[in-house]
Protein backbone atom coordinates (compact mmCIF):
# COMPACT_ATOMS: atom_id res chain seq x y z
CA UNK A 1 0.00 0.00 0.00
CA UNK A 2 1.30 3.44 -0.92
CA UNK A 3 1.10 5.88 1.99
CA UNK A 4 0.66 8.78 -0.42
CA UNK A 5 -1.16 8.73 -3.74
CA UNK A 6 1.45 7.35 -6.23
CA UNK A 7 1.13 10.41 -8.49
CA UNK A 8 1.74 12.74 -5.56
CA UNK A 9 4.67 10.55 -4.51
CA UNK A 10 6.16 10.82 -8.01
CA UNK A 11 5.66 14.58 -8.02
CA UNK A 12 7.49 14.95 -4.68
CA UNK A 13 10.28 12.64 -5.91
CA UNK A 14 10.77 14.65 -9.10
CA UNK A 15 10.93 17.93 -7.21
CA UNK A 16 13.32 16.43 -4.66
CA UNK A 17 15.66 15.34 -7.45
CA UNK A 18 15.97 18.88 -8.80
CA UNK A 19 18.34 19.45 -5.89
CA UNK A 20 21.89 18.45 -6.65
CA UNK A 21 24.09 16.75 -4.07
CA UNK A 22 26.91 14.23 -4.63
CA UNK A 23 25.00 12.77 -7.56
CA UNK A 24 27.47 10.19 -8.89
CA UNK A 25 27.94 8.49 -5.56
CA UNK A 26 24.31 8.88 -4.49
CA UNK A 27 23.01 7.33 -7.69
CA UNK A 28 25.46 4.48 -7.29
CA UNK A 29 24.20 3.89 -3.75
CA UNK A 30 20.58 4.08 -4.88
CA UNK A 31 21.18 1.73 -7.83
CA UNK A 32 22.99 -0.74 -5.59
CA UNK A 33 20.08 -0.73 -3.12
CA UNK A 34 17.66 -1.44 -5.93
CA UNK A 35 19.84 -4.14 -7.45
CA UNK A 36 20.28 -6.15 -4.25
CA UNK A 37 16.88 -5.19 -2.83
CA UNK A 38 18.36 -3.37 0.19
CA UNK A 39 15.84 -1.07 1.91
CA UNK A 40 17.53 2.34 2.06
CA UNK A 41 15.44 5.38 3.07
CA UNK A 42 15.50 6.83 -0.46
CA UNK A 43 15.87 10.38 -1.72
CA UNK A 44 12.76 11.99 -0.20
CA UNK A 45 13.55 10.83 3.33
CA UNK A 46 17.25 11.46 2.72
CA UNK A 47 16.70 15.14 2.00
CA UNK A 48 14.39 15.32 5.03
CA UNK A 49 17.22 13.96 7.24
CA UNK A 50 19.59 16.51 5.70
CA UNK A 51 17.18 19.32 6.56
CA UNK A 52 16.84 18.05 10.14
CA UNK A 53 20.62 18.14 10.52
CA UNK A 54 20.82 21.63 9.03
CA UNK A 55 18.13 22.91 11.40
CA UNK A 56 19.26 21.13 14.57
CA UNK A 57 23.02 21.62 14.10
CA UNK A 58 23.82 18.44 16.08
CA UNK A 59 27.21 17.62 17.53
CA UNK A 60 26.34 13.93 17.79
CA UNK A 61 24.03 11.86 15.60
CA UNK A 62 23.63 8.16 16.34
CA UNK A 63 22.08 5.92 13.71
CA UNK A 64 20.71 2.52 14.69
CA UNK A 65 20.88 0.42 11.52
CA UNK A 66 23.01 2.24 8.96
CA UNK A 67 23.33 -0.40 6.25
CA UNK A 68 25.95 0.83 3.78
CA UNK A 69 25.66 4.47 4.79
CA UNK A 70 22.96 6.02 2.59
CA UNK A 71 20.87 7.62 5.38
CA UNK A 72 24.06 8.53 7.28
CA UNK A 73 25.31 10.39 4.19
CA UNK A 74 22.38 12.81 4.50
CA UNK A 75 23.01 13.55 8.17
CA UNK A 76 26.74 13.99 7.60
CA UNK A 77 26.14 16.24 4.60
CA UNK A 78 23.86 18.49 6.67
CA UNK A 79 26.20 18.75 9.68
CA UNK A 80 28.57 21.65 10.13
CA UNK A 81 30.63 19.96 12.87
CA UNK A 82 30.52 16.89 15.09
CA UNK A 83 29.97 13.35 13.89
CA UNK A 84 27.47 10.73 12.90
CA UNK A 85 27.93 7.26 14.40
CA UNK A 86 27.03 4.52 11.93
CA UNK A 87 26.08 1.13 13.34
CA UNK A 88 25.37 -2.16 11.66
CA UNK A 89 25.61 -5.86 12.46
CA UNK A 90 27.31 -6.50 9.18
CA UNK A 91 30.98 -5.71 8.70
CA UNK A 92 30.38 -5.82 4.93
CA UNK A 93 27.86 -2.96 5.12
CA UNK A 94 30.05 -0.78 7.31
CA UNK A 95 33.09 -1.33 5.05
CA UNK A 96 31.02 -0.25 2.07
CA UNK A 97 29.80 2.82 3.99
CA UNK A 98 33.43 3.78 4.72
CA UNK A 99 34.28 3.66 1.02
CA UNK A 100 31.32 5.81 0.05
CA UNK A 101 32.07 8.35 2.79
CA UNK A 102 35.67 8.61 1.58
CA UNK A 103 34.54 9.20 -1.97
CA UNK A 104 32.30 12.13 -0.94
CA UNK A 105 34.92 13.50 1.46
CA UNK A 106 32.82 13.03 4.60
CA UNK A 107 34.89 10.38 6.40
CA UNK A 108 35.93 12.88 9.11
CA UNK A 109 32.25 13.42 9.96
CA UNK A 110 31.70 9.75 10.76
CA UNK A 111 32.49 6.98 13.19
CA UNK A 112 31.95 3.46 11.85
CA UNK A 113 30.87 0.74 14.27
CA UNK A 114 30.07 -2.92 13.71
CA UNK A 115 27.82 -4.65 16.24
CA UNK A 116 24.44 -4.43 17.89
CA UNK A 117 23.12 -0.90 17.46
CA UNK A 118 21.51 -0.71 20.91
CA UNK A 119 24.67 -1.91 22.67
CA UNK A 120 26.77 0.60 20.73
CA UNK A 121 24.36 3.51 21.26
CA UNK A 122 24.50 2.88 25.04
CA UNK A 123 28.13 4.02 24.98
CA UNK A 124 27.21 7.56 23.89
CA UNK A 125 25.76 10.39 26.00
CA UNK A 126 24.42 13.72 24.77
CA UNK A 127 22.96 12.35 21.55
CA UNK A 128 21.41 15.26 19.62
CA UNK A 129 19.74 13.19 16.90
CA UNK A 130 18.89 9.50 17.24
CA UNK A 131 17.78 7.71 14.08
CA UNK A 132 16.06 4.33 14.29
CA UNK A 133 16.18 2.08 11.26
CA UNK A 134 17.11 -1.23 12.89
CA UNK A 135 14.99 -4.39 13.15
CA UNK A 136 11.43 -3.24 13.68
CA UNK A 137 10.86 -5.62 16.64
CA UNK A 138 13.56 -3.70 18.55
CA UNK A 139 12.14 -0.15 18.11
CA UNK A 140 10.35 0.07 21.45
CA UNK A 141 13.15 -1.49 23.51
CA UNK A 142 15.72 0.62 21.70
CA UNK A 143 14.10 3.96 22.56
CA UNK A 144 13.42 2.93 26.17
CA UNK A 145 17.05 1.91 26.63
CA UNK A 146 18.59 4.92 24.87
CA UNK A 147 16.21 7.76 25.85
CA UNK A 148 18.35 8.72 28.85
CA UNK A 149 21.37 9.14 26.56
CA UNK A 150 19.62 11.89 24.60
CA UNK A 151 20.48 15.54 25.10
CA UNK A 152 17.75 17.99 26.11
CA UNK A 153 15.67 18.96 23.10
CA UNK A 154 17.18 16.18 21.04
CA UNK A 155 15.41 14.81 17.99
CA UNK A 156 14.36 11.22 17.52
CA UNK A 157 13.69 10.13 13.95
CA UNK A 158 12.43 6.71 12.96
CA UNK A 159 11.79 5.19 9.56
CA UNK A 160 8.92 2.88 8.52
CA UNK A 161 6.50 3.91 11.26
CA UNK A 162 3.48 3.46 8.94
CA UNK A 163 4.85 0.11 7.69
CA UNK A 164 3.05 0.13 4.32
CA UNK A 165 -0.19 0.85 6.13
CA UNK A 166 -0.01 -2.34 8.21
CA UNK A 167 -0.37 -0.21 11.36
CA UNK A 168 -4.05 0.23 10.46
CA UNK A 169 -4.76 -3.46 11.04
CA UNK A 170 -6.54 -4.52 14.21
CA UNK A 171 -4.71 -7.88 14.38
CA UNK A 172 -1.24 -7.12 13.04
CA UNK A 173 1.81 -9.37 12.99
CA UNK A 174 4.64 -9.11 15.54
CA UNK A 175 6.72 -6.46 13.73
CA UNK A 176 3.70 -4.25 13.13
CA UNK A 177 2.57 -4.69 16.75
CA UNK A 178 5.91 -3.37 17.98
CA UNK A 179 5.82 -0.44 15.55
CA UNK A 180 2.33 0.42 16.83
CA UNK A 181 3.49 0.17 20.46
CA UNK A 182 6.51 2.32 19.61
CA UNK A 183 4.30 4.98 17.99
CA UNK A 184 1.95 4.87 20.98
CA UNK A 185 4.95 5.42 23.28
CA UNK A 186 6.40 8.30 21.24
CA UNK A 187 3.03 10.08 21.17
CA UNK A 188 1.54 9.05 24.50
CA UNK A 189 4.32 8.77 27.09
CA UNK A 190 4.53 12.52 27.74
CA UNK A 191 8.30 12.37 27.20
CA UNK A 192 8.25 13.52 23.58
CA UNK A 193 6.24 15.67 21.22
CA UNK A 194 5.91 13.72 17.98
CA UNK A 195 4.48 13.77 14.51
CA UNK A 196 4.56 11.36 11.61
CA UNK A 197 5.61 12.79 8.27
CA UNK A 198 3.85 10.64 5.67
CA UNK A 199 6.62 10.51 3.10
CA UNK A 200 7.57 7.10 1.69
CA UNK A 201 6.86 4.59 4.51
CA UNK A 202 6.24 7.19 7.26
CA UNK A 203 8.97 8.99 9.19
CA UNK A 204 8.51 9.76 12.87
CA UNK A 205 9.90 13.08 14.07
CA UNK A 206 9.98 13.63 17.82
CA UNK A 207 11.54 16.14 20.13
CA UNK A 208 12.52 15.02 23.63
CA UNK A 209 10.99 17.22 26.31
Ligand X SMILES: C[S@@+](CC[C@H](N)C(=O)[O-])C[C@H]1O[C@@H](n2cnc3c(N)ncnc32)[C@H](O)[C@@H]1O
Cα distances (Å, whole numbers) of residue 65 to 11, 69, 101, 118 = 29, 9, 16, 9
Residue 87 binds ligand X (CB under 6 A): yes
Of 25, 26, 40, 204, the one binding ligand X (CB under 6 A) is 40
Of 9, 13, 116, 147, the one binding ligand X (CB under 6 A) is 116
Among all residues, whose Cβ is closest to ligand X?
Answer: 65
Residue 67 binds ligand X (CB under 6 A): yes
Residue 138 binds ligand X (CB under 6 A): yes
**How many residues line the site for ligand X (CB under 6 A)?**
19
Q: How far is the CB of 208 from ligand X (least distance, A)?
A: 21
* Nearest residue to 140 (alpha-carbon basis) of 173, 175, 115: 175
Q: How far is the CB of 84 from ligand X (least distance, A)?
A: 11
203 close to 196: Cβ distance less than 8 angstroms: yes
Q: Using the minimum distance from each CB to ligand X, give the nearer residue, 9 or 135.
A: 135
What are the two backbone dihedrals, phi and then psi, of residue 141, each rounded to the nearest 5 degrees? Answer: -60, -45
Of 4, 17, 22, 89, the one binding ligand X (CB under 6 A) is 89
Q: How far is the CB of 158 from ligand X (least distance, A)?
A: 11
| Neighbouring C-alpha atoms within 13 Å toward the C-beta of 21 | 23
* Nearest residue to 42 (alpha-carbon basis) of 7, 13, 11, 1: 13
Of 26, 43, 52, 71, the one binding ligand X (CB under 6 A) is 71
- Can you give the binding site for ligand X, defined by CB under 6 A? 39-41, 65-67, 70-71, 87-90, 93, 116-117, 133-135, 138
Amino acid sequence: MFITNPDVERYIEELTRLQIFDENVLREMEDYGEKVNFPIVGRQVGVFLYLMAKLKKPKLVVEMGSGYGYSAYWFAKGMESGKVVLTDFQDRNISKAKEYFKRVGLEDRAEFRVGDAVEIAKEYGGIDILFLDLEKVRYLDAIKIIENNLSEGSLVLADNVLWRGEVLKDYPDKKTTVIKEFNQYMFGSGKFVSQIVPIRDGVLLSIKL
